[in-house]
């Protein structure tokens, strides 16, 4: 295999403070702030710092406003947050987020469980969110869940992923992040799904977001990189999961992506040691170990 198959650099969207911590035992606001401050100094350029969803649905994210207003912002870092509706967007704007993200699903059942409406209704709900975000100069990212499998409906059709991705792009998302929410995907299925999506979208309009439940996330990222995708979502220490996808584990660990990219000669701009330190610190707070083998290997090497 030659290096020419891969992009020369990739963008990492660090979702640990949101996707990670939304599905862990609650941690104090100050611990979140310290995590984000540490990650901000690691060379990562996009950190999803919170989520303006209903605190009744996801209490772990109830302090997102405090988090976003108390972090020490680094000029080179984009701090984003999830905003499912105008109510969430208004709170996000008050917290001065740099960018927002809307989220829906390819699966009707997951959509109902996750955001309490149909796919069609979710897209309708996003129109005023996108309009207001644009008026306020905030780029909008879209998330699409269950792009390979749904916890309620089983296998997803790549054709359907293509259709809903197109709807999100047409609505005004600059990029759609394709989520293997349950983490059951394998590289050949990723390839079929991405082939379909890339027939209507440019590679820079697409990101991949793989949960690691069955240990395939890194192989799936490798597959996506080979197909020209150059934005990857990952979570420090492999934290988290989705509260509405029972049993799903965290995203692919940022440390694993950084180590893989080092080996492939792909530039990420981020410092693996600093990310691993931040990961160990938040894991101590959570009273657990990182799920990432790279973090575990680095612990003894660096005495983290
Ligand atoms: P709903 O109950 O249908 O909304 O929830 P509603 O408009 O009827 O409002 C009900 C109550 O919620 C009201 O309060 C609202 O004020 C409040 P009450 O009058 O009962 O006291 N409310 C809010 N409060 C704060 N912020 C808001 C907000 N909106 C309403 N923004 C809603 C609809 C979407 C809000 C709800 O279903 C929700 O919050 N869902 C969140 C689900 C979630 O966060 N899931 C995890 C993130 S998605 C994910 O992890 C997948 C991803 O990682 C990709 C992948 O892996 O596939 C992105
Ligand atoms: Mg996720």
Measured CA distances, 207 to 79, 132, 171, 197, 221 (Å): 17, 24, 17, 11, 10
pLDDT over threshold 90, residue 131? yes
> What average pLDDT does the segment 238-252 reach?
82
CA of 4 relative to ligand 2 center, distance in Å: 30
Out of 111, 146, 173, 242, the active site residue is: 242
pLDDT digit string, tens, across residues 18-31? 999 999 999 999 99
Give the whole-angstrom CA distance, residue 261 versus residue 186: 19
Residue nearest to atom 20 of ligand 1 (CA): 56
Residues 241 and 288: beta-carbon distance below 8 Å: no
Count of other CB atoms within 10 angstroms of residue 289: 15
The residue ranges of every structural domain in the chain are 7-302
- SS3 (DSSP) at 236: helix
Residue nearest to atom 58 of ligand 1 (CA): 143
Residue at token pair 């749904």: 150
CA–centroid distance for 269 within its chain:
18
Closest atom of ligand 1 to 101 CA is 58
Q: What is the CATH number of domain 7-302?
A: 3.20.20.70
Q: Is the pTM of this model over 0.95?
A: yes
The three-class DSSP label of residue 118 is coil
Closest approach atom of ligand 1 to CA 88: 31
| 62-102: pLDDT as tens digits | 999 999 999 999 999 999 999 999 999 999 999 999 999 99
Residue 20 DSSP class? I
Query: What is the rounded distance in angstroms from the CA atom of residue 155 to the CA atom of residue 282?
Result: 34
What is the 301 CA–ligand 2 centroid distance (Å)?
30
Is 117 a known active-site residue?
no
Residues in the chain: 304
């Amino acid at each position: 295999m030659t290096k020419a198959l891969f992009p020369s650099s990739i963008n990492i969207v660090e979702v640990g403070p949101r996707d990670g911590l939304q599905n862990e035992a609650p941690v104090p606001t100050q611990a979140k702030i310290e995590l984000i401050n540490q990650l901000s100094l690691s060379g990562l350029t996009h950190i999803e710092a919170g989520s303006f969803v209903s605190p009744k649905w996801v209490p772990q994210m109830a302090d997102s406003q405090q988090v976003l207003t108390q972090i020490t912002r680094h000029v080179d870092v984009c701090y984003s947050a999830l905003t499912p509706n105008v109510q969430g967007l208004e709170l996000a704007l008050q917290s001065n987020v740099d960018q927002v993200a809307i989220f829906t699903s390819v699966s009707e059942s997951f959509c109902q469980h996750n955001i309490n409406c149909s796919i069609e209704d979710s897209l309708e709900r996003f129109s005023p969110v996108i309009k207001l975000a644009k008026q306020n100069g905030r780029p909008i990212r879209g998330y699409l869940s269950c792009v390979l499998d749904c916890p309620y409906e089983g296998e997803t059709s790549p054709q359907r992923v293509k259709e809903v991705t197109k709807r999100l792009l047409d609505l005004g998302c600059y990029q759609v992040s394709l989520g293997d929410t349950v983490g059951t995907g394998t590289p050949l299925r990723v390839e079929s799904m991405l082939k379909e999506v890339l027939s209507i979208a440019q590679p820079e309009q697409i990101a991949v977001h793989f949960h690691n439940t069955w240990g395939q996330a890194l192989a799936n990222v490798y597959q996506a990189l080979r197909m020209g995708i150059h934005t990857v979502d990952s979570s420090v220490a492999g934290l988290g999961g989705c509260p509405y996808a029972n049993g799903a584990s965290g995203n692919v660990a940022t440390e694993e992506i950084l180590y893989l990219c080092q080996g492939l000669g792909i530039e990420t701009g981020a410092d693996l040691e600093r990310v691993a330190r931040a990961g160990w610190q938040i894991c101590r707070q959570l009273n657990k170990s990182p799920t990432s083998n790279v973090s575990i290997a680095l612990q003894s090497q660096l005495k983290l």
